[in-house]
Amino acid sequence: MNLKISPNRLFDVLTKKKTVLAILTVLFVFPLITPSRYSMNLLAGVFIWALLAMSYDLLLGYTGLVSFGHAALFGIGAYVSVLLILPPYNIPFLPAILAAMLFGALLCLAMGVFSLRVKGIYYALVTLAFAEMIYAFFIKWVHPILLKKETLRVPVPDFVKSTSFFYFSVAISAAILIILYIAAFRDLIKKGVLARTKILYAVLMIVFLALLIYTAPQKLHFISEGSVKDKLPTNMYFFALMPLTICYLIANRIVNSPLGRIFVAIRENEERAKMLGYNVFKYKLISSSIAGIFAGLAGALYAPFLLSINPDTVLSALVTINVLLFSILGGLGTLIGPMIGAAIITIFARELSSYFVIELFGRELSLWMLALGVFYALVILFLPYGIVNTLRWKGASIRKAFKGLVKSIKISALRKQPATEGTL
């Protein structure tokens, strides 16, 4: 591996995926544009779920391991980090997160060692059994007997409450913005780029910058002068976004690496991979560890976000079901698919659940869960491969169909003939 990177090469590497950079920039700069506490909070939750969904994609989408116990990794990550932060251990936040990641990996390894010895479907069942046992263990013993309370309060780490963290995040956002602008600028002056692209870039850059200049100072002032209550949502936003970004970049590297291709080979044809000399069991364990690390991290981030944890919020099968839904909706095997799925469902859940209340038999009923179930079934029926995969493979035919539709509308408009005449 060539460790010597010149500044130019750095730019080339960073801007290879310009779209990713652009999206990152928007995400990082977004808090400076909007003051809304609600959206900060909502999106922070989205980022954490996205991280969990991405970890699940590594396991299921890339290695083909159908795990029904992912909630356990998430929940253990949350509990480990919280229990270490609280007395009697009083460990500082960062080591606690690392511990949570470690436990996540170990747990997934343990589940794997037991369940990977047998054929496919049994892995699903054993992971399910494990997760349910851990859940029952927490509900029936840890909370009533060890902790003696129903939920565990989580203290927010001090640095998340501070203004310096906010400034630090703003600095990072500014850096990303500058990198994007430099990349876009280089495109502007490059010879081979089309004129209309250049104009588009220029317009976008100017508009975005103007918006930023208009809103950012107020936001900066607001946060730096404000109380902890004002700072916390925005800091939480960055607190969730930064690990997500780093993990995504790492996961992306892994997936395109030789190791990642081995995972894919295992998913595609395990028997063949074995006969090619790959110790499939070993690689499944490696995949499990990586997924466990990310899932544990997600759990450790979720705890201070939610401010209190109990088995129902972090260890229940509902967590696994949600993550499954995110992944299937977005598309397995894409890394970004499950993240998009997480975003869509989490945001819609918050926004729309209030509309699903009806009056029936004199009672107020929430039809939201039913709607979610129906939505879930529809997604599986019509988009069994998820949004991203369907767009990737059918994108061409969707565009063709769309163009064909537009064309036929144009033609019938030109001819001004009723549908019964002519042979269109």
Partner 1 sequence: MKARAIRSPILETRNLTKKFGGLMAVNDVSVGIKKGICKGLIGPNGAGKTTLFNLICGILKPTSGTVFFKGEDITGLPSHKISMRGISRSYQITNIFTRLPVLENVRIAVQSRGKDNYNFYSNIKDLKEYNKRALEILEMIGLKGRAYYIADFLTHGDQRKLEIGMALATEPELLLLDEPTAGISIEEVPDMINVIQRIKQTGAVTILLVEHKIDVVMDICDSVLVMHEGSIIADGTPEEIAKNELVQKVYLGGA
Partner 2 sequence: MVVITPEMIVVSIIDGLAFAMLLFLIASGFSIIFGLLGILNFAHGAFFMMGAYVATTLFAYSGHNFIAALAGATLIGILLGVPIEYFTLRRLQGNPIAQIMITLGYLLIFTQIVSIIWGTIPQGGAVMSLPPSLAGSVTVLDRPVPTYRFFLIFFGLIIAASTYLFLTRTKLGTIVRAGTEDAEMVEALGINVKRVFILTFGFGAALAALGGAAAVPWIAATPEIGTSWLFISLVVTVVGGLGSFKGSFYGSLLIGVLHQFAVYFIPQLTFVIDFATMTAVLLIKPEGLFGERK
Q: Is 257 in the site for partner 1 (CB under 8 A)?
A: yes
- Asked if 271 is part of the footprint of partner 2 (rule: CB under 8 A), the reply reads no
Candidate list 374, 401, 406, 411; residue touching partner 2; CB under 8 A: 374
Gap between the Cα atoms of 276 and 270, Å rounded: 10
Q: Measured from the CB of residue 1, what is the shortest distance to partner 1 in angstroms?
A: 6
Of the candidate spans 260-268, 347-355, 361-369, 399-407, the one that interacts with partner 1 by CB under 8 A turns out to be: 260-268
**Total count of residues recorded for the chain:** 424
Residue whose C-alpha is closest to residue 135's, from 60, 58, 78, 93? 78
In angstroms, rounded to a whole number, what is the distance separating the alpha carbons of residues 276 and 139? 46
To the nearest 10°, report the CA torsion of 42, 48, 53, 59.
180
Work out which of 3, 121, 195, 275 binds partner 1, going by CB under 8 A.
275
Both tokens assigned to 300: 């450790």
DSSP 8-state assignment for residue 358: E
From the CB of 369, what's the least distance to partner 2, in Å? 5
Q: Which is nearer to partner 1, 244 or 262 (CB)?
A: 262
Tokens of 195: 């004129």
- One-letter-per-residue 3-state SS of 90-155: CCCHHHHHHHHHHHHHHHHHHHHHHHCCCCHHHHHHHHHHHHHHHHHHHHHHHHHHHHCCCCEECC
Q: How many CA atoms lie within 13 A of 169 on its CB side?
A: 30
Dist CA 214 CA 191 (whole Å): 33
Of the candidate residues 149, 272, 410, 415, the single one contacting partner 1 (CB under 8 A): 272
Q: Mask of contacts with partner 2, 34-63, x by CB under 8 A?
A: --------------------------x---
Interacting residue with partner 2 among 22, 33, 102, 125 (CB under 8 A): 125
Size of the site for partner 1 (CB under 8 A): 24
Binding site for partner 2 (CB under 8 A): 60, 66, 114-115, 117-119, 121-122, 124-126, 128-130, 132-133, 136-137, 140, 321, 324, 328, 332, 360-361, 363, 365, 367, 369-370, 372-374, 376-377, 380-381, 384
Binding site for partner 1 (CB under 8 A): 1, 253-254, 256-262, 264-265, 268-269, 271-280
